[in-house]
Structure 1
Amino acid sequence: MHAQLYNDKELFRLISEGDETAFRMLFRRYVPQLRPLIMHLTKTTAVTDDIIQETFLRLWISRDKLPEIDVPRSWLLRIAFHLSFSWLRKQVVHHKAIDAITSDYTPEGPVTTTEETMVYNAMMKQVSAAVAQLPPQAKRIYLLSREKGLKIPEIASELSVSPSTVKNSLVRSLHFIRKQLELSGHLFPAVLMWVLVNIVLK
């Protein structure tokens, strides 16, 4: 079996059937992509290695679901980012995540802790203002996801709507919040969305 002959979806299908060779191929294909992204956030080699291992462990454990996944790369990135930010939250170092994200985008150099806190607080204030402007149902869905940590099926059950309705509402809300942040002048790298919405689309 040659890795270049199989795309990601084909490898996912083979892995779902218990093919360990396909699993190793996918691992070798994605570790070089995941490592710098995770390292950029954690700044710690040991933690980065642990998160990579946990990401692929979850893939293997969830292999029965793999044939249903349309975009394998996005699915893997979602798991890796979720694990990375979970680690940051447990270490009570949100400021390190903000620093890791913003340092590459600040022409003047690394932001100080005070500057970082001010930027973060201002941005979160804008997020709250944007959420307040959402339609009632969209606002309720967003808050159930963001503040109560409910997953899409749980929100759908609580509000007696379909999961697709919940997901579409969240996508529209996140797009609106991002636009409001951009209009207010906040630099908003895509990866920061994972901090702000706490992986609401999982």
Structure 2
Amino acid sequence: MSAGDPVIEDGVEVDDRELAAAAAAGDRTAFETLIRRHGPALHRYARRMTRDEAAVQDIVQETFVAAWRQIEKFRGDSSPRTWLFAICSRKVADSHRVKRALPLDDRLLDPADPSAAADPFATLSNTEFLGALEEALAELPPRQRAVWMLREVEELTFPQIGTILNLSPDGARGHHHRARTTLQQRLQRWR
């Protein structure tokens, strides 16, 4: 099940918008379902935007506290996922700790092909590439890094990214293009 997919509750599908509406009516269980569904993605995003793991935990917690306090104001102009990312993005900016990205997920270090693990050169090359990617991401301006992470890792659309970061879809697309161009230049060795 991917983020935003309906959940089955008593044989009935419940999507994010229904959960948000139930949470706005005071249903804590519905809100907890939204937390379970989107918390990991928000944590990944916050972790890549700040180095301090304690700050990441605080950012995600503050995101959910703010969302709970504001859930009655959720108008549904965007999906609850996009709304939560927008809150998280503001909390990251508020933290004033957006300086360097943290290491990529450990699961990205696992070889996609189990036979690749037997090849030490491939493993070393993969590790070197991920280290170089991490460094290149850390050197991007924060907004470009945020757009790149939301697009490439969280697989959000440009309109969703624009909503989250208060950009037009074309503005998000432009930041993404500049980030990709910079990353391609810095990672040319691996092409």
Q: So what's the TM-score if we normalise by structure 2? A: 0.52
Residue 72 of structure 1 and its aligned partner are, at CA, apart by 1.2
Aligned counterpart, 1:41: 49
Distance 1:178 1:16, change over 3 A: same
Question: What percentage of aligned pairs have identical amino acids?
Answer: 24
Aligned counterpart, 2:111: none
Residue 43 of structure 1 and its aligned partner are, at CA, apart by 3.3
Write out per-residue CA displacement over residues 66-115 of structure 1, whole angstroms, 9 at most, x where no aligned residue.
2424311111112213312332xx24x52x14x758xx8972834898x8
Question: How is 1:99-178 mapped onto 2 (pairs within 5 angstroms)?
Answer: 107=129, 109-110=131-132, 120=140, 170-176=168-174, 178=176
Aligned partner letter, 1:61? R
- 2:182 aligned with 1:186: yes
Aligned counterpart, 2:161: none
Write out per-residue CA displacement over residues 144-197 of structure 1, whole angstroms, 9 at most, x where no aligned residue.
xxxxxxx98xxxxxxxxxxxxxx7xx3334434544x279x3228xxxxxxxxx
Q: Which runs of 5 or more residues in structure 2 are unaligned?
A: 1-7, 109-125, 145-164, 185-191
Query: Match for 1:53 among 48, 51, 61?
Result: 61
Q: Which runs of 5 or more residues in structure 1 are unaligned?
A: 125-150, 153-166, 189-202
Aligned counterpart, 1:65: 73
Residue 116 of structure 1 and its aligned partner are, at CA, apart by 8.4
Q: Work out the CA distance in 1 between the residues paired with 2:137 and 2:33.
A: 40
Distance 1:187 1:19, change over 3 A: same
Residue 46 of structure 1 and its aligned partner are, at CA, apart by 2.0
Residue 56 of structure 1 and its aligned partner are, at CA, apart by 1.0
Count of residue pairs the alignment pairs up: 133
Query: Which has more helix, going by share of residues?
Result: 1
Query: Match for 1:2 among 1, 9, 24?
Result: 9
Aligned counterpart, 1:138: none
Distance 1:85 1:67, change over 3 A: closer
Quote the RMSD (CA, aligned, Å): 4.0
